[in-house]
Structure 1
Amino acid sequence: MAGTLTVWKFPTETGAETAVATVRDLRRRRLITLHDAAVVSWPAEATKPKTRQLRHLAGIGALGGGFWGLLFGILFFVPLIGAAVGAGIGALAGALTDVGIDDKFIEELKERITPGTSALFLLTSDAVLDRVLDEFRGQSPELISANLSHEQEDKLRRAFAE
């Protein structure tokens, strides 16, 4: 089955951290096959978010820190780096398009993940998204997802395997 990169945005800076326990339970009950995960939390008063890969939840074939670093760099930190380096990162961002993470998806994430919010990024397969949403009930999540074909997921794994 092809993979899905889902981003669950929460209306508070701690919502994604709370949702990690839910994901752990879904994985334990085999309702989700989790390959990799990361959390973004953005305190309202901060100029940039805090990010971290959830290595303890990552499964076999995890993408590793390189993928998350690139994705989060493009999403939140490139404007702070400068135009010369930004152009180089722009080329790397183009590589993400090859694996189904296009400019539209990136822009949607930039617009939705803002100070005072948080997000849980999951690379999964075999997930029943309606069931996952049911488990997050009461946490007010907003789902943003990008489906990856088998070929795109393989490219992503080859590019970022550690």
Structure 2
Amino acid sequence: MATLTVWKFDSETGAEEAESTLLNLQSQELIKVHDAAVVSWATDAKKPKTRQLHNMAGVGALGGSFWGFLFGLIFFVPLLGAAVGAAVGGLSGSLADVGIDDSFIKRIRETVTPGTSALFLLTSGAVMDRVTEHFAGTRFELVETNLSREDEDALRQAFAPE
């Protein structure tokens, strides 16, 4: 079973630093990172910069359309037109079926603000004590949504490339 987690950092670079650590832990087979994306929000910026991890494409990856939709839903929905808003409403209902509900979106929107960064991860198989030890002393807030196998498959299918 995969876990979707969002790690919020109190600096613009915290997520990128954590990304580097996680990729190192993956090379040691201490965690499996299926897919990930970074959000960094400069203090003086109107909206955040987002980036999907390039080396995660392939089997198990959710893909750019998922991350783009999720980040649009979290950070940019008020800017969308009515027709797009209706489509977003339908898709966001589907996301609720896989554990990404309105309270999850609201929590992220309220905590990822200018001057912060976030790391969005789809992971499994973490050796928690070893992963935790590598992040000792790192300040971050963790928002977690556990996905069942069926939910994970539904999420991948919803955003699979055509």
On whether the aligned pair clears a TM of 0.5, the verdict is yes
TM-score of the superposition, structure 1-length normalised?
Answer: 0.92
1:109-147: CA deviations, max 9, x gaps?
Answer: 111111100000110111244543332223311111100
Report the residue type matching 1:145 in the other structure: E
**Distance (Å, rounded) in 2 between the aligned partners of 1:152 and 1:80:** 29
1:16-72: CA deviations, max 9, x gaps?
Answer: 011111011110111101110000000011110000100214562201001101100
**Distance (Å, rounded) in 2 between the aligned partners of 1:142 and 1:133:** 13
The answer to whether the aligner puts 1:87 opposite 2:116 as a matched pair is no
Q: Unaligned regions of 5+ residues in structure 1, if any?
A: none
Report the residue type matching 2:53 in the other structure: L
Q: Which residue in 2 is equivalent to 1:144? A: 143
Map 1:13-162 onto structure 2 (within 5 A): 13-58=12-57, 60-162=59-161
Residues matched between the structures, number = 161
1:6-25: CA deviations, max 9, x gaps?
Answer: 11110001110111110111
Q: Which residue in 1 is equivalent to 2:5? A: 6
Judged with a 3 Å threshold, the aligned counterparts in structure 2 of structure 1 residues 50 and 129 are, in CA distance, closer, same or farther, namely farther
Partner secondary structure for residue 34 of structure 2 = strand
Cα RMSD of the aligned pairs, angstroms, is 1.5
Asked if the contact 1:36/1:59 (under 8 Å) is kept, the reply is no
**Distance (Å, rounded) in 2 between the aligned partners of 1:152 and 1:10:** 27
Asked if the contact 1:8/1:141 (under 8 Å) is kept, the reply is yes
Judged with a 3 Å threshold, the aligned counterparts in structure 2 of structure 1 residues 114 and 130 are, in CA distance, closer, same or farther, namely farther
